């Protein structure tokens, strides 16, 4: 029995998968942006987990008058996060009976696996795109990538609060506020009554919120947005403020930010402009990447895509996200491999990696405390 077809399929596999993953990236806006910024990192350092440094505070700065004395001491500016590796697989097989049935024409088998390879790669491609939004620490998700929900756990939030209190652990580090540092408390009404500071308004030190996402309660009755506790009433003001919070507290330009809304939130957001006869301007970078329908809202791109659960949205600095892969390619393949026990050839596609976010550069829009 000739095994020439096995060599043909094996040689063709990398070509099929490379083209497929390029197409995958082009069809997912965030992945396309990560690729454009060089944020899809291959051959990430191995082992069962990897440590990375988080620069969480700035050097202390003191007043210095003429003739003042300088005190020298060492300062620790780093904390360490631990990224663990998650993986996905897609497989197929061909039995020896199937091989015998098509023995008369090897080209038939190659054609069959030209169809199978795209099916394997499509399954993995869809999964990687969906993982951007999942909670990798939720029950049953132990081997899924740690997406944006992995650090958006919330603590205390009441109806009048503009933000929820961050309360989660991500890559081994707590997202809680005020682990050290300071923040102003000058406002009459704190955005969160339990936190009792001006955060995310006002000013303070970097280490106060170095690992904390902004969790906007979009159904607040706080009059700084509206007294109507709905996304429809608050969406423009909430999104505007969230963009400003990230731009000021995380030190980024709005042009580096992307807002990804669920389908229902996106429809409501668009509808809120119907009476103003606004002419939407496309988001320039997204349009360059082949996404002409992305909206530009005060310099921030606003978009929706499959995989975002209802009644929520996210705003993030794309420059502070990485897709870290252990392999030299996003997807690797094994096979066809002969298995004498099952008398079949096995085909496997797989990947190992994880997303790496900086929570401080991310905000979530969600009805944390509905009236």
Query: pLDDT tens track of the chain, all 371 residues?
Result: 445 556 666 665 565 555 555 555 557 788 888 888 899 998 887 667 788 888 877 777 778 888 788 888 877 788 888 899 999 999 988 888 877 776 655 555 556 666 676 777 778 877 888 899 999 999 999 999 999 999 999 999 999 999 999 999 999 999 999 998 999 998 778 999 999 999 999 999 999 999 999 999 999 999 999 888 999 999 999 999 999 999 888 776 666 899 999 999 999 999 988 766 565 766 777 777 777 788 999 889 999 998 899 999 999 999 999 999 998 888 887 877 888 899 888 888 888 999 999 999 999 999 998 65
d(CA 285, CA 268): 24
Count of CB atoms situated within 10 Å of the CB of 8 = 15
Residues 333 and 308 in one domain: no
**Secondary structure class of 262 (helix, strand, coil):** coil
Residues 114 and 260 in one domain: no
- Dihedral of CA atoms 208, 214, 217, 221 in degrees, nearest 10, equals 50
CATH code (residue 230): 3.30.2320.10
**285-306 burial, b if ≥16 CB within 10 A, otherwise e?**
bbeebebeebbbbeebbbbbbe
In a domain, 68, yes or no: no
φ, ψ of residue 227 in degrees (nearest 5): -95, 5
pLDDT of residue 2: 47
In a domain, 72, yes or no: no
pLDDT of residue 23: 52
Count up the domains in the chain and report the number: 2
Cβ-contact 131, 191 below 8 angstroms: no
Residues 99 and 16 in one domain: yes
Residues 200 and 220 in one domain: yes
In a domain, 149, yes or no: no
Of 322, 283, 158, the residue nearest 229 (C-alpha): 158
In a domain, 69, yes or no: no
Largest Cα separation within the chain, whole Å, is: 95
| 321 exposure class (CB count in 10 Å sphere: 0-12, 13-18, 19+) | buried
Q: Which residues lie below 8 Å from residue 366, measured CB to CB, with a gap of 6+?
A: 152, 154, 164, 215, 216, 217, 218, 311, 312, 313
d(CA 63, CA 145): 46
Can you say whether residue 343 is alpha, beta or left, with left for phi > 0 and alpha for psi between -120 and 50 degrees? left
Residues 43 and 125 in one domain: yes
In a domain, 145, yes or no: no
Q: Which residues lie below 8 Å from residue 351, measured CB to CB, with a gap of 6+?
A: 87, 88, 124, 128, 325, 327, 330, 331, 332
Please give the model's pTM, rounded to 2 decimal places. 0.86
Strand-pair partners of 366: 217
Chain-centroid distance, C-alpha 331: 19
In a domain, 131, yes or no: yes
Residues 50 and 117 in one domain: yes
In a domain, 301, yes or no: yes
Q: How many residues does the chain have?
A: 371
Residues 218 and 232 in one domain: yes
Strand-pair partners of 236: none
Q: Which residues lie below 8 Å from residue 254, measured CB to CB, with a gap of 6+?
A: 243, 247, 298, 299, 300
Residues 86 and 123 in one domain: yes
pLDDT of residue 1: 40
**DSSP states of 167-188:** --EETTEE--S-SSS-B----S
pLDDT of residue 17: 54
pLDDT of residue 25: 54
Range of the domain at 327: 4-59+77-140+323-354
d(CA 318, CA 321): 6
Residues 177 and 305 in one domain: yes
Residues 313 and 177 in one domain: yes
In a domain, 346, yes or no: yes
CATH code (residue 12): 3.30.2400
pLDDT of residue 139: 95
Of 340, 258, 207, 269, the residue nearest 34 (C-alpha): 258
Residues 105 and 116 in one domain: yes
Residues 317 and 192 in one domain: yes
Count of CB atoms situated within 10 Å of the CB of 123 = 14
């Amino acid at each position: 029995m000739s095994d020439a077809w096995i060599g043909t399929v094996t040689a063709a596999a990398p070509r099929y998968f490379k083209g497929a993953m390029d197409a995958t990236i082009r069809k997912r806006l965030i992945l396309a942006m990560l690729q454009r910024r060089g944020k899809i990192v291959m051959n990430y350092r191995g082992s069962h987990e990897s440590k990375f440094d988080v620069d969480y505070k700035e050097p202390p700065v003191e007043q210095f008058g003429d003739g003042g004395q300088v005190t020298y001491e060492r300062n620790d500016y780093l904390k360490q996060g631990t990224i663990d590796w998650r993986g996905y697989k897609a497989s197929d097989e061909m039995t020896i009976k199937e091989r015998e049935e098509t023995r008369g024409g090897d080209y038939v088998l190659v054609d069959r696996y030209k169809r199978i390879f795209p099916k394997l790669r499509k399954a993995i491609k869809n999964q990687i795109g969906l993982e951007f939004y999942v909670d990798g620490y939720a029950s049953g998700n132990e081997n899924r990538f740690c997406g944006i929900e992995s650090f958006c756990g919330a603590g205390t939030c009441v109806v009048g609060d503009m933000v929820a209190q961050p309360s989660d652990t991500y890559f081994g580090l707590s997202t809680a506020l005020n682990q050290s540092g300071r923040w102003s408390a000058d406002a009459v009404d704190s955005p969160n009554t339990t936190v009792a500071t001006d955060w995310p308004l006002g000013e303070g030190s970097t280490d106060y919120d170095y690992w904390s996402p902004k969790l906007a309660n979009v159904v607040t009755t706080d009059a700084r947005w509206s007294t109507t506790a709905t996304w429809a009433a608050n969406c423009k003001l909430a999104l505007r403020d969230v963009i400003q919070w990230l731009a000021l507290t995380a030190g980024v330009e709005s042009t580096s930010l992307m807002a990804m809304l669920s389908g229902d939130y996106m429809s409501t957001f668009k509808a809120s402009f119907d009476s103003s006869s606004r002419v939407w301007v496309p988001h320039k970078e997204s349009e360059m990447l082949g996404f002409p329908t992305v909206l530009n809202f005060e310099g921030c791109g606003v978009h929706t895509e499959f995989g975002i659960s209802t009644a929520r949205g996210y705003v993030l600095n794309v420059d502070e996200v990485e897709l870290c892969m252990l392999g030299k390619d996003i997807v690797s393949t094994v096979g066809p491999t002969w298995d004498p026990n099952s008398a079949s050839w096995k085909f496997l596609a797989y990947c190992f990696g994880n997303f790496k976010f900086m929570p401080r550069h991310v905000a979530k829009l969600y009805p944390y405390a509905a009236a």
